[in-house]
Structures are given as structure tokens and as C-alpha cells.
Amino acid sequence: MRPAWSVILLTTLTGAGQGLFLAVFATDVLAAAGVAELPPELVAAAVVVSLAFGAGGLAASFFHLGHPERAWRSAAKWRTSWLAREVIALPLFMASVAAYGLAHWLRAPHLALTLGALGAAACLTLFVCTGMVYACLRFLQEWHTPLTVVNYLVLGCASGLSAAAALAAWLASALARPYVLAALALTALALATRAASLRRNAGLRQRSTLQTAIGVKHPRIAQTAQGAMGGSFNTREFFHGAGPGRLRTVKWGFIGAAFVAPMLLFGAAVWTARVELAAAAFVIQYAGLLGERWYFFAEARHPQNLYYQTIS
């Protein structure tokens, strides 16, 4: 599949915003139980950054629409479409986060916890909807696995914890080390789940053949043309055009940037007590997640490419 940068930005930005909110809300729950302290400055910063990430992702998604003025129609089929459910869940999540921040600003802790619980439910729903947009597609075998949803959830939480650690290093030093340790653990888990999906996909045997792709059962088929003098919608939208060398480079690049480098920086932050390294870890990890999401789309082999890719 051809990676669309609008969707790459949508999923990575909103995922980080969701993970950041979950990290702060979990701390808020612990603070209500008397286990931790949550400075209001950190809550305010986390809410603003989470909403900014969500708004950035939402704005990027409009560039993926052929007719942005009809965007409201995308929610109409919510009974059957995971995309429609995602379209509904994202603004609900953002509204809950904004209300949670407002309740904290008004010094209403019990109301904040209630709104935060609603926001957490919307957040988890959004993770599931986003992952299922791709996991529900049976003909794209690389995506049709529970690991797709798991990776969207774990990668989002890992990047969100990295952002929380970076903010805590600036605004709440007592929470910086716990956030760094949590980010290290989630990044390690994300590496394990993403490696599992890479290993699974590398061993896939494609169910589609050239015969099933074009509906002809003859055992010997030779393609000489695609029926057009130049490119077409099919060759532009369903194939990325990158060679095996570029795919390998992107794969090992995102493994290093999204997982290995942040884990080393988190480890160094704990070892040297320089928690400000979390900011560098978040920036590098987010860049790596852009590569990871690009590879996620490019790795999926659409059955129609059995016909069109030869010519394109």
C-alpha cells in the first residue's frame, strides 16, 4: 500500500496524545489514593499538549479527504464502519480531555476523576477503533491480526509516557523518574509486540494469486499490458514504488529510532539522574514512529498489485 503522510501523522500524533493523557490520569488516580502527588502545572501542560497532538492529527487527516467539506458524512455509517467509529471517538476523547483539564483548573478533583475516567474510556475506544480500521481488512493479511490493535495501543502508550517523562522533567521532577521507568518498560513491550508482527508478516504465505486477482483460472498467465498507456489510480494508490532495499532501511531505521535509541536514553536518564534526556528520547522515538507507520502501510501487499505492480 502507498503510505499517506496525512494518515501517518493522524495516527502517530493522536496516539502520543492518548498515551500522554492516560499517563497523567493514572497518576491522578494514584494521587487521589495518596500514593503520589500530581502538580497542577503538569496536568495543565499535559492537557494542552494532548489536545494539541489530537488537533494536529485531526487537521492532518483532512488532507486525506478528496472532499473535506463532506467530512461530516464519514461518521454516518457508525453501525458497520470502524472508520466512522474512529471519527466519533476522536472528538469525544478530545472533549473529555478538555473537560478534565477544566475540572482541574476549577479545583474540582472528584469531578476531574469522573471526567478523566470518561476520557480514558474514550481513549481506549479510540485505540481499538483506529487499529480495527486496518485489522478488519481480511484481504490485507499483514494487517488482519490482533497484533495490529495491540501495536497501536502499546506504541501510543509508550510515546505518550515518553512525552509525560519529558514534561515531568521540566514541571514535576519527583514524577520524572517513575515516568522514565514506565516509558522504558512500555517501549520494551512495544518492541516485543512490533517484532512479533514483523516476524509473523515475514512468514506469511499470500492467499491471493494472479489467477484470483483477475478472476482467470488458467494455470499459465502472462501479463503484457494493464490496459492503459500510463499510470492509473490503482498504480498510484495501492503501491508505494519503493524497492526491497529501501524497505529494509526503513525497517531497521524505525527499530533503532522508535525502540533501541529511546531505551538507551531512558536507561541513561535513570543511571545518571539526568531526566532531561527524556525529551530527546521522545523526539527520537516520535521520528522513529513516523518510520514505523510508513513501513506499516508499505508492508501491506494489496492483492491487486499482483496485476498492476508488474507494469507500474
d(CA 173, CA 158): 19
- Answer whether 0.85 is exceeded by the pTM: yes
CA 106 to chain CA centroid, Å, is 32
Q: For the chain, which residues make up each domain, given as ranges?
A: 5-216+231-308
Residue with cell 494487517: 143
Phi and psi at 235, nearest 5°, equal -75, -25
Q: Cα(211)–Cα(136) distance, rounded to whole angstroms?
A: 24
DSSP string for 53-101: HHHHHHHHHGGG-S-GGGGGGGGTTTTT-HHHHHHHHHHHHHHHHHHHH
pLDDT of residue 211: 77
How does pLDDT run across 39-71, given as a tens digit for each residue?
999 999 999 999 999 999 989 887 766 666 566
Q: Which three cell numbers stand for residue 29?
A: 488516580
* DSSP-assigned letters across all residues of the chain: -PPPHHHHHHHHHHHHHHHHHHHHHHHHHHHHTTS----HHHHHHHHHHHHHHHHHHHHHHGGG-S-GGGGGGGGTTTTT-HHHHHHHHHHHHHHHHHHHHHHHHTT-HHHHHHHHHHHHHHHHHHHHHHHHHHHT-TT-TTT-SHHHHHHHHHHHHHHHHHHHHHHHHHH-HHHHHHHHHHHHHHHHHHHHHHHHHHHHHHT---S--HHHHHT---S-------SSSS--HHHHHS-----HHHHHHHHHHHHIIIIIHHHHHHHHHHHH--TTHHHHHHHHHHHHHHHHHHHHHHH---TTHHHHTTT-
pLDDT of residue 227: 56
> Of 54, 11, 38, 27, nearest to 182 (Cα)?
27
pLDDT digits (tens, 9 = 90+) for 202-251: 988 877 777 777 778 888 877 676 655 566 677 777 777 778 898 899 99
pLDDT for the residue 29: 97
List per-residue pLDDT tens for the chain, 312 residues long.
778 889 999 999 999 999 999 999 999 999 999 988 999 999 999 999 999 999 999 898 877 666 665 666 677 778 888 999 999 999 999 999 999 999 999 999 999 999 999 999 999 999 999 999 999 998 888 999 999 999 999 999 999 999 999 999 999 989 999 999 999 999 999 999 999 999 999 988 877 777 777 778 888 877 676 655 566 677 777 777 778 898 899 999 999 999 999 999 999 998 988 888 999 999 999 999 999 999 999 998 877 776 665 544
Q: Are 210 and 307 in contact (CB under 8 A)?
A: yes
List Cα–Cα distances, 260 to 17, 91, 174, 192, 193, in angstroms.
Answer: 22, 33, 25, 12, 14
Predicted local confidence at residue 279, as pLDDT:
94
Q: Would you state the CATH architecture of domain 5-216+231-308?
A: Up-down Bundle (1.20)
